[in-house]
Structure 1
Amino acid sequence: MTQYESTDQLDESNDRKHAHFGRRALLGIFAATMVTAAPTFSKAAGFLRGGAGDIRRIRMYSGRTGEQLDTIYWIDGQYIPEAVREVTHFMRDWRNNQMIGIDTRTIDILTATHRLVDVSRPYMLLSGYRSPQTNAMLRETTSGVASNSLHMRGQAVDVRLEGRSVNQLASAAERCSAGGVGRYSSSNFVHMDCGAVRQWGR
């Protein structure tokens, strides 16, 4: 989303180190906030085994398309392919309907952050996947859009959450220690990505 993303020029060994550290931090958060009952959701009935277990659920809506997403994408140690595809479609580039597989680490960061802020309201998605064409257009019309934005890799999202301030949401995301977190208080949104652990904005 911003010029800060262009500083993410780490070598592969550093990427692996950050990814491993972030995964451990996320697992700790998921373990500490384990839900005890699995809510139902569309297309998931066949995956809900009993009423309890290790589940991960993501809830969002899009002000751009009017679509809503409420899906369990992980059960007992396994990602659910159909649910991940549902997330990918929801987070597509709404300007041209292009899509790319959304990195599951990004979905996990969103979910862990949502658990930490402890609200039932869904995220409002502002930007998920961004096609190269859209990114180029935004670079011409908006300041601070990176040429190599992680949005183009399906590794970044910009969201709002009713009932929580930018600082509250960003602070929760930073506790995940799993990627980049940007505060955009003047525009009322938080950027999260699964790149290097870093923070910016106010």
Structure 2
Amino acid sequence: MSNPSKLVLDRQDFPVRGLSRRGFLKRAGAAAVGAMLLPSAEAVAKSFSRERLLSFHNVNTDEEMNILCCPEQQYDARLLERLNYFLRDHHAEVSRPMDPALLDLLFAVSVFTGSNGTFKIISAYRSPETNSWLRKISHGVAEHSMHIEGKAVDIRMTDVDTHTIRRVGLALQQGGVGYYPRHDFVHLDTGDVRSW
């Protein structure tokens, strides 16, 4: 694996769905504690006060990326550019700016699942052309997919089952959660709260 990239940390008011990042983390913590995913509010606060290494493996390109994250702090623009490329449409070899709130969401999933494993990226950004092509050959691909907007990832984790990822995503209430048990992945996005 490559060396982790450290994020530049300097502010606490990064907007996430109308909330500050601090507000997002407090809301996520309350939701997870309410859903019995963590034992106490104290455990939640402690989890979010530390840096956490997020490891990613893109199953389509076989690339890996590690990101050292700490909540409530701003992401470095160079790191986001690298992440955009990592999450690119591998069919068309094009990328776009991804919603930084996805990193916050994946951080929260990592904390609330207790994972030390790797996020397996099944799909992230899709160009409109790739999305149209997938709609023709596949069932269940949305015409106005959040993947096109750079606001969605399809994942599995090396040390957490997809059913648990789904439960955590639903408890966090930070966007869409789609569960695909036959294909062993979960769709997470930063759009409207909904599930399927």
Equivalents in 2 of 1:74, 1:115: separation in Å?
A: 11
Listed as ranges, the matches of 1:36-185 within 5 Å are: 36=50, 55=51, 57-72=53-68, 77-185=73-181
CA contact (8 A) 1:124 1:160 kept: yes
Cα deviation for residue 80 of structure 1 reads 1.1
Q: Which residue of 1 aligns with 2:9?
A: none
**Structure 1 contact 59–70 (Cα < 8 Å) conserved:** yes
Pick from 186, 192, 195: which aligns with 1:196? 192
Return closer, same or farther for 1:59/1:165 CA change in 2, 3 Å cut-off.
same
Corresponding residue of 1:33 = 47
Deviating above 4 A after TM superposition, structure 1's stretches of 4 or more consecutive aligned residues are: 73-76
Q: Identity, % of aligned pairs?
A: 28
Q: Number of residues paired by the alignment?
A: 165
TM-score (norm 1): 0.74
Q: Which residue of 2 aligns with 1:19?
A: 17
1:153 is paired with a residue of what secondary structure? coil
SS of residue matched to 2:88: coil
For the Cα contact (< 8 Å) 1:26–1:178, is it kept in 2? no
Q: Distance in 2 between matches of 1:88 and 1:57?
A: 18
Q: Which amino acid aligns with 1:78?
A: Q
Q: TM-score, normalised by structure 2?
A: 0.76
One-letter identity of the residue aligned with 1:20:
G
Unpaired segments of 5 or more residues in structure 1?
A: 1-17, 37-54
Structure 2: where are the runs of 5+ without partners?
1-15, 30-43
Shift of residue 118 of structure 1?
0.7
* RMSD of aligned residue pairs (Cα, Å): 2.2
Distance 1:25 1:175, change over 3 A: farther
